[in-house]
Structure 1
Amino acid sequence: MLVGIGPGSVDHMTARARAAIAEADVVIGYVTYIKLVADLLDGKEIIRKSMTEELDRAVSALASARAGKKVALISSGDAGVYGMAGPTYEVLFQSGWTPDDPVQVEIVPGASALNSCAALVGAPLTHDFCAISLSDLLTPWPTIARRLDAVAMADFVVALYNPKSGRRTRQIVEAQRLFLRHRRADTPVAIVKSAYRRRENIVFTTLDRMADADIGMLSTVLIGNSNTFVRDGLMVTPRGYANKYDMEEGGATRAGEKAGRSLSTGLLGWLDQLQAEHAAGATIEALAARHRLPADYIAATLAEPWEDEAVPAGEGEA
């Protein structure tokens, strides 16, 4: 059982995660994670591993399962988000394991750091977001840097995992440098350390000051998008309702907008605009630059005919 124990508070662990640990003969995990569930481990065989021994944890789990024991291999947060699910499946497949094997695998999901940290600071992930790890222990830095640059340009809210450690101190500075190429200096940033644990600490700052904050391996950094704001100690990313509805007039639909239909600036409205601009003499290259999209995409879109969308009765969306 690959068990996500959540952010570290027993209150935020799922009932299934608690039950999985209770059922287990053997519990395997990083020493810090073992401490987080210490009160659930009476009578269990405990196998503690260090931070860099992920593959050893997976090998030990498989060996114990092959010996007929029920195993809980624990991860903080969710086992499938920078957790033990991936390396465990790699070890399993390398050993010749298949889903029909007598050793059966269950993944028990848990709240990841981006969920728990977001809950503590407000509602920063209400719109599109992504997660990027700054750890270059297993991933080449150019790969990480390209991802950072792409999501910064695309205006995602971003959760940075593994932002800094005792030896890895420059990665957060480089991330800041890449984001400042595309984002305002005053873009809101929240830094959450040890969410729901004994030494929990929350700091609100801005993108230009982010790298100067107290950040470590127990921190998760949440960087807002161009619409994110902080008010009364809460970080909020609007979902976009104000684009369609007049929030001060009881939610009345704005002029030119229709409830249950795409925005006037949604895909079809944008296609109409694009066609008009092109017909007026704008080149493919100029349109691509104006909308910050690839020229071949603009060309292919203009070449494909489209029809107005039809919404079946009762199937509208906000």
Structure 2
Amino acid sequence: MTGSLVIAGLGPGAGSLVTPEVTDALAQATDVVGYIPYVARVAARPGLTLHPSDNRVEIDRSRHALELASAGRHVVVVSSGDPGVFAMASAVFEALEAGPAAWRDLDIRVLPGITAMLAAAARAGAPLGHDFCAINLSDNLKPWSLIEKRLRLAAEADFAMAFYNPRSKSRPEGFTKTLQILQESCGDARPVIFARAVSTPDETIRVVPLTECTPDMANMRTVVLVGSSTTRIIARAGAPFVYTPRSVDT
């Protein structure tokens, strides 16, 4: 029996934002592997085995998925958002590169998904309409000094920015430092979007000037978007539109 491995993105939360391609892959799967809350989003059915695991065992999870596929199973590794954006696709390929040579002959596909960053940007308008960068503020897998360097260079380059994993109970100081760096480096009231639990019933979207941002405005369910110096706000009766023009004056 020839197995297969699909690395799929489940989108930011709403079932309507899961792509048809991912839905089809889940319908054909014999096994679904992933972080506990993401596997919980997949409905149980006869013939499907769910393999939830903790968030800090990505390489072990990847090896398990590759072993299942090499045994002839049809495996889907699930991530939220897009699997290639701070998610499981890199972990699977890391395990693949270090694993048995036979794994490289498996049928492996990566299926894209809608990221929280893109869903949040769409809710607000078009804050990522020009050049932007995405930075994971967690220092679990890289040193804080590297995060700080990238923040300062992104601010100097005047990118719009998207921040993943901004603040957790175990890392409350990182986002405090991030705001300090941005407020020192940018020195203006550019808009910052705090999008919490985007696309779910718990969704909240706040637009706050950079000069008024505080660390408690973000948690691990929040993606934070920071405008560039050219980002604009269109005020209206409801929530404002935030957008970054496609052109830059020279």
- TM-score of the superposed pair, with normalisation by structure 2: 0.91
Q: Give yes or no for contact 1:10–1:37 (8 Å, CA) kept in 2.
A: no
Q: Structure 2 vs 1, CA of residues 64 and 98 (structure 1 numbering), >3 Å: closer, same or farther?
A: closer
RMSD between aligned residues:
1.5
Counterpart for residue 81 of structure 1? 85
Q: Does 1:120 align with 2:119?
A: no
Counterpart for residue 245 of structure 2? 238
Distance 1:100 1:226 in 2: 46
Q: Give yes or no for contact 1:5–1:13 (8 Å, CA) kept in 2.
A: yes
Q: Structure 2 vs 1, CA of residues 157 and 64 (structure 1 numbering), >3 Å: closer, same or farther?
A: same
SS at match of 2:23: helix
Q: Does 1:15 align with 2:29?
A: no
Q: Structure 2 vs 1, CA of residues 212 and 164 (structure 1 numbering), >3 Å: closer, same or farther?
A: closer
Counterpart for residue 62 of structure 2? 58
Q: Give yes or no for contact 2:175–2:215 (8 Å, CA) kept in 1.
A: no
Q: Does 1:4 align with 2:9?
A: yes
Q: How many residues align?
A: 240
SS at match of 2:66: helix
Q: Give the counterpart letter for 1:27 in structure 2.
A: V
**Per-residue deviation, residues 65-111 of structure 1 (Å, max 9, x unmatched):** 1211000000001110001010111111111336851x221000111
SS at match of 2:186: coil
Q: Structure 2 vs 1, CA of residues 217 and 125 (structure 1 numbering), >3 Å: closer, same or farther?
A: same
Q: Structure 2 vs 1, CA of residues 25 and 117 (structure 1 numbering), >3 Å: closer, same or farther?
A: same
Q: Give yes or no for contact 1:130–1:156 (8 Å, CA) kept in 2.
A: yes
Identity %: 35
Q: CA deviation at 1:149?
A: 0.3
Q: CA deviation at 1:156?
A: 0.2
Distance 1:113 1:90 in 2: 24
Of structures 1 and 2, the one scoring higher in RCO (CA 8 A, sep 6+) is 2
- Of Structure 1 and Structure 2, which has the larger fraction of its residues in strand? 2
Q: Which residue among 153, 156, 173 is the counterpart of 1:153? A: 156
Q: Which residue among 138, 141, 162 is the counterpart of 2:144? A: 141
Distance 2:101 2:145 in 1: 34
**Per-residue deviation, residues 224-274 of structure 1 (Å, max 9, x unmatched):** 000112223211111127x4xxxxxxxxxxxxxxxxxxxxx4xxxxxxxxx
Q: Give the counterpart letter for 1:19 in structure 2.
A: D
SS at match of 1:7: coil
SS at match of 2:175: helix
Q: What pairs up with 1:1-318 in 2 under 5 angstroms?
A: 1-38=6-43, 41-43=44-46, 44-97=48-101, 101=105, 103-231=106-234, 232=236, 233-240=240-247, 243=249, 265=250
Distance 1:219 1:97 in 2: 40
Q: CA deviation at 1:214?
A: 2.6
Distance 1:211 1:93 in 2: 42
Distance 1:98 1:203 in 2: 49
Distance 1:36 1:184 in 2: 42
SS at match of 1:195: coil
Distance 1:120 1:171 in 2: 26
Q: Structure 2 vs 1, CA of residues 176 and 98 (structure 1 numbering), >3 Å: closer, same or farther?
A: farther
